[in-house]
Chains A and B, each alone.
Chain A
């Protein structure tokens, strides 16, 4: 077969007819996860979908004014928060790949928002933004002698703040991912571009972006899916208030659970599925496709 350079592909399955010891162990070792999947994913999801079968739930859902607000909020949240986050991640990833000791230390600090739990940090931001006694408004009053805005009681401002919270928490992770993507680009490409006389912007346009583009888009899509499920940023900051005007689909679903209306809760989720499922399918194809290319 091949001689030197190429790493050998995984050979075809080990030779044996029927169920060899190896195949048996393969099944045994896979069984725990399969069990977990069936009991805690397949059954609950199937049951959930069954709960959502009643068209009545959807009618009541659509007639609820809260629902309309929620959908608008969610769409805004997704479009603005995710894209802003990724533009920042793209920019910062370029910053963090610089080879300096102090930048490496900074990157360790930068990860903190992602690594620590949501409650302490989001509560902290919530208190900072408190219109009466929060630090922000106190400072604004002290410096400018005016009352600061109602950060959390004005629905639009509150949504904006929730988006900022989300970005604050999620940015480090995606910055890391894009950093890894940048580091995978061979240095020689940049050196060749320098010799060819490229400016920093041209280097980005012709070397960095073509290599990063796929990762960027894939990550954005994945982030869209996950941001849809971001419960903490909204719930811990505003709780959906005031007057249930700052809900997103994730928090709305949970609200219905609290009200013991499980069918409405499921309906809220099912409504998002036509958007989520194609994205999930696309992501899965992407990842298994990449699998086959490199395996």
Chain B
């Protein structure tokens, strides 16, 4: 286990700059998730930590030691790839023991290391099978087993669950989280799925276009997003956002008054953001029309229209109205976010 520190990291591919001075400190034992849309640079950052990409500028340190010039194998890290990257011609046992074999460890020690990892991940029945005989989830576990055997200072995960189906993903998420709680190894986890980020991370770094938009604990990002990008990226279904003018102590938009406890300058153009679960549907509030009702069992997702804008509303329990009905929308002022219309920054 060790702390990882990124200092002013720059990365360019030829003339194109993809990372613009990223600084990030990860504490010993922390589960840090790098999340963001495709192309934001999260995988590049991870691969630079792994030693698979050149570092154009800045330094990366593991356990206080700068690793810029160290080969991957000397950094004491292990990586789990999106496509598992299992050696197809080796059994599960050989796959997991490969790194030890390369170091020329004694066969007894290799067997011991493999057995230990296999026990933790429940891979004992599969040790003599080949990757092609395993399911996606099993292969992913073998990939994790391979990483565990090395007992490294840092675990790196590069979108490991993207190739699995939805149900398996949920199951594997808990497994990875449980593994982290057990082994307490510093982990850097890259994903584009904000649900994975929210459920697994100690802290999240939301990235966009080569910059960190916000760094913080999951609920902090959820409750107090620093800008529009984070607000709309985190949380599913996404936050409802529309443009309005701040007047007195409310927002005027879409021909109605929207309450908020945040403050802005009088007459300022702002973006009003409110999450689906903070909108109530009932008899009081802003006039709206129901468009689509999507019952999900415990909750119901309702799409309503105010003027030209469509809102997603999340209500508990079963639907009590149908499409086409006129209804009233009541936003909770305490949970309304205001963002500057031009910069997107939180007000």
A residues lining the B interface (CB < 8 Å):
1-4, 11-12, 14-17, 20
Contacts and interface: CB of A to CB of B under 8 A. Distances in A.
A4 B162 contact: yes
Chain B CB count within 10 A is highest, among A2, A17, A20, for A2
Chain B CB count within 10 A is highest, among A1, A2, A11, A17, for A1
Given A1-B38, A2-B38, A15 B55 contact: yes
Contacts of B159: 3
- Which 6 interchain pairs have the tightest Cβ spacing? A15-B54, A1-B43, A3-B192, A4-B162, A3-B38, A2-B38
Given A3-B192, A11-B52, 20 more contacts: A1-B38, A1-B39, A1-B41, A1-B42, A1-B43, A1-B44, A2-B39, A3-B82, A3-B159, A3-B162, A11-B47, A11-B53, A12-B13, A12-B54, A14-B52, A15-B53, A15-B54, A15-B55, A17-B69, A20-B71
B163 interface: yes
Contacts of B47: 11
Contacts of A12: 13, 53-54
A254 B273 CA distance: 85
Interface residues of B, number: 20
25 contacts: A1-B38, A1-B39, A1-B41, A1-B42, A1-B43, A1-B44, A2-B39, A3-B38, A3-B82, A3-B159, A3-B162, A3-B192, A4-B162, A11-B47, A11-B52, A11-B53, A12-B13, A12-B53, A12-B54, A15-B51, A15-B53, A15-B55, A16-B71, A17-B69, A20-B71
Interface of B: 13, 38-39, 41-44, 47, 51-55, 69, 71, 82, 159, 162-163, 192
Contacts of A3: 38, 82, 159, 162, 192
Contacts, number: 30
Contacts of B13: 12
A12 B38 CA distance: 19
Contact of A4 (B44, B53, B163): B163
A11 B162 CA distance: 20
Contacts of A11: 47, 52-53
Contacts of A2: 38-39
A4 to B, nearest CB: 5
A11 B46 CA distance: 14
A16 B71 CA distance: 8
B62 to A, nearest CB: 16
Contacts of B82: 3
A24 to B, nearest CB: 13
Contacts of A1: 38-39, 41-44
Contacts of A15: 51-55
Nearest to A6: B38
Contacts of A16: 71
A215 B82 CA distance: 36
A23 to B, nearest CB: 12
Contacts of B71: 16, 20
Nearest to B40: A1
A12 B16 CA distance: 14
B94 to A, nearest CB: 24
Contacts of B51: 15
Nearest to A14: B52
A17 B43 CA distance: 22
Contacts of B163: 4
